[in-house]
C-alpha cells in the first residue's frame, strides 16, 4: 500500500506580514507539514525569503517528534546553488531539504567562476550531504525534466544516497496560483508503479478540483497554496485533500 496522505500547505500563499501565526494556524487546522518555498531569483524568476525567516517561523511550530511527522518543514529549494544553503537551513529548523535535480546537475552551479567546493555538487552527493547534516532529502523535477533521470538515483544501493521523497512539479516553478498541469501525472504513475513505498509529492495547482487525478496517479504528499490559504475554511480543504488520497490508498 502507498504511504499515508500528507497534506503540506504552501505558505507562499499565506499573509507574509503574519507568517508565524499563519503557520501555527495551518497546523492547528489539520495540516501535516508546511511547504516552505525558497526562491532565489536565479533558478526561478521570483524571490521569497531565506534561512532567517525560517528560523523565526520555526518558533511558531513545534518540531516533528517522528520522521515525516506533524510540523515537518518541507523546504522546496528553488535555488541555483542548493548545496551552499544546506547547513543554514538545517540550523534554521528545516526537516526536509528538497532540492531541484536541474540545479544539482547544472553546469552554471558547478562550473561558474564563483563556484566554491561548497556549491559544487551532483544529486547523489547532495542527498548524502543532506542526510549527513541530519535532514530528510527530497529531489524535485520540473515539468521539462523526464522522470527517467531519477531511476539511477532511486535504485542506488547506498541508502544514504537515496532520497526520502520525490517532488513532481505540476506547474513551472516560480509562482503560486498557476494552472495544474495534468500532463505531469504519468510521471507520478510511473514512480508509484516502480516504488510502492516512496513518498511522492505533487506541487502546483492542487485543490478540490484536481486532487482526484493526482491521487489516482499515486501521489501521497499534496502541496496546496492558494487552495488552502484562499479558502474561507482552510481546514475543510485540508480534509478534502486528505480524503481523496486515503480513498485511492484504500483501493490498492
Ligand atoms: O513551488 C511552488 C511554486 O513554484 C508551489 O509550492 C506553489 O506555491 C503552490 O501554490 P499553488 O499552485 O497551490 O497555489
Ligand atoms: Fe513548492
**What would the pLDDT profile of 181-199 be if each residue is shown by its tens digit?**
999 999 999 999 999 999 9
pLDDT interval class at 89 (50, 70, 90): very high
Which ligand 1 atom is the nearest neighbour of the CA of 230?
Answer: 14
Task: Say if residue 249 is exposed, middle or buried (CB neighbours under 10 Å; 0-12, 13-18, 19+).
Answer: middle
CA dist., res. 206 & res. 167, Å (int): 13
pLDDT interval class at 107 (50, 70, 90): low
Is 36 within the bounds of a domain?
A: yes
Which ligand 1 atom is the nearest neighbour of the CA of 46?
Answer: 4
Is 1 within the bounds of a domain?
A: no
Would the pLDDT of 2 be above 90? no
pLDDT interval class at 121 (50, 70, 90): confident
Is 252 within the bounds of a domain?
A: no
Q: Is 175 a known ligand-binding residue? A: yes
Asked which of 48-52, 116-120, 222-226 is least confident by mean pLDDT, the reply is 116-120
Q: Round the CA-based radius of gyration of the chain to a whole number and report it.
A: 17
Mean pLDDT value of segment 198-226:
98
Would the pLDDT of 120 be above 70? no
- Give the number of other CB atoms < 10 A from CB of residue 226: 17
Whether 37 is catalytic: yes
Is 25 within the bounds of a domain?
A: yes
Q: Which residues surround ligand 2, an ion (CB under 5 A)?
A: 37, 76, 203
- Give the number of other CB atoms < 10 A from CB of residue 217: 22
Pocket test of ligand 1: the residue of 7, 12, 234 to mutate, having most ligand atoms within 8 Å of its CB, is 12
Rounded distance from Cα 156 to ligand 1 centre (Å): 30
Mean pLDDT value of segment 40-62:
98
Burial pattern 168-205, b for ≥16 Cβ within 10 A else e, equals: bbbbebbebeeebbeebbebbebbbeebeebbbbbbbb
Is 223 within the bounds of a domain?
A: yes
What average pLDDT does the structure give for the chain? 95
Query: What is the CATH classification number for the domain harbouring 12?
Result: 3.20.20.70
Residues 6+ apart with CB under 8 A from 120: 83, 109, 110
Pocket test of ligand 1: the residue of 9, 47, 178 to mutate, having most ligand atoms within 8 Å of its CB, is 178
Q: Is 100 a known ligand-binding residue? A: no
CA-based angle 3:239:232, to the nearest 5? 145
User: Residue 46: which domain range?
Assistant: 6-247
Is 140 within the bounds of a domain?
A: yes
pLDDT interval class at 111 (50, 70, 90): low
ipTM of the complex: 0.99
Instruction: Report the number of distinct structural domains present in the chain.
Output: 1
Would the pLDDT of 116 be above 80? no
Pocket test of ligand 1: the residue of 9, 165, 204 to mutate, having most ligand atoms within 8 Å of its CB, is 204
CA dist., res. 32 & res. 219, Å (int): 15
Residue with the bigger pLDDT between 251 and 126: it is 126
Q: List pocket residues of ligand 1, CB cut-off 6 Å.
A: 10, 12-13, 35, 37, 76, 171, 173-178, 203-206, 223-227
Whether 197 is catalytic: no
Cα(first)–Cα(last) distance of the chain, in Å? 6
pTM of the model: 0.95
Condensed to tens digits (0 to 9), the pLDDT of residues 229-248 reads 999 999 999 999 999 999 99
**Whole-number pLDDT of residue 113:** 58
**Whole-number pLDDT of residue 12:** 98
CA dist., res. 17 & res. 175, Å (int): 18
DSSP string, the chain: -PPPPEEEEBGGGS-GGGHHHHHHHHHHTT-SEEEEEEEBSSSSS-B---HHHHHHHHTTSPPPSSTT-TTEEEEEEE-S-GGGGHHHHHHHT-SEEEEEHHHHH-HHHHHSTT--TTT---HHHHHHHHHHTT-EEEEEE-TTS-GGGGHHHHT-S-GGGS-SEEEEESS-TT-SSPPP-GGGHHHHHHHHHH-TT-EEEEESS-STTTHHHHHHHT--EEEESHHHHTSS-HHHHHHHHHHHHHHHHHH-
Ligand whose nearest atom lies closest to the CA of 204: 1
Amino acid at each position: 500500500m502507498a504511504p499515508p496522505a500528507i497534506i503540506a500547505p504552501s505558505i507562499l500563499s499565506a499573509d507574509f506580514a503574519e507568517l508565524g501565526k499563519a503557520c501555527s494556524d495551518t497546523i492547528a487546522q489539520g495540516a501535516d507539514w508546511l511547504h516552505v518555498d525558497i526562491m532565489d531569483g536565479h533558478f526561478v524568476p521570483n524571490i521569497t525569503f531565506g534561512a532567517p525567516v525560517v528560523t523565526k517561523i520555526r518558533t511558531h511550530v513545534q518540531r516533528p517528534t517522528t520522521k515525516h511527522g506533524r510540523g515537518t518543514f518541507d523546504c522546496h529549494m528553488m535555488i541555483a546553488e542548493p548545496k551552499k544553503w544546506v547547513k543554514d537551513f538545517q540550523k534554521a529548523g528545516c526537516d526536509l531539504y528538497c532540492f531541484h535535480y536541474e540545479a544539482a546537475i547544472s553546469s552554471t552551479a558547478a562550473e561558474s567562476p564563483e563556484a566554491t567546493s561548497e556549491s559544487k555538487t551532483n544529486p547523489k552527493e547532495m542527498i548524502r550531504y543532506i542526510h549527513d547534516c541530519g535532514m530528510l532529502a527530497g529531489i524535485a523535477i520540473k515539468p521539462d525534466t523526464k522522470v527517467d533521470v531519477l531511476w539511477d538515483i532511486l535504485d542506488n544501493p547506498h541508502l544514504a544516497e537515496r532520497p526520502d521523497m520525490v517532488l513532481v512539479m505540476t506547474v513551472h516553478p516560480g509562482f503560486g496560483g498557476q494552472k495544474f498541469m495534468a500532463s505531469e501525472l504519468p510521471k507520478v504513475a510511473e514512480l508509484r508503479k516502480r516504488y510502492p513505498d516512496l513518498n511522492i509529492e505533487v506541487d502546483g495547482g492542487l485543490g478540490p478540483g484536481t486532487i482526484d487525478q493526482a491521487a489516482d496517479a499515486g501521489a501521497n504528499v499534496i502541496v496546496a497554496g492558494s487552495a488552502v490559504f484562499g479558502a474561507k475554511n482552510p481546514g475543510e480543504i485540508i480534509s478534502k485533500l486528505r480524503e481523496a488520497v486515503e480513498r485511492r490508498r484504500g483501493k490498492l
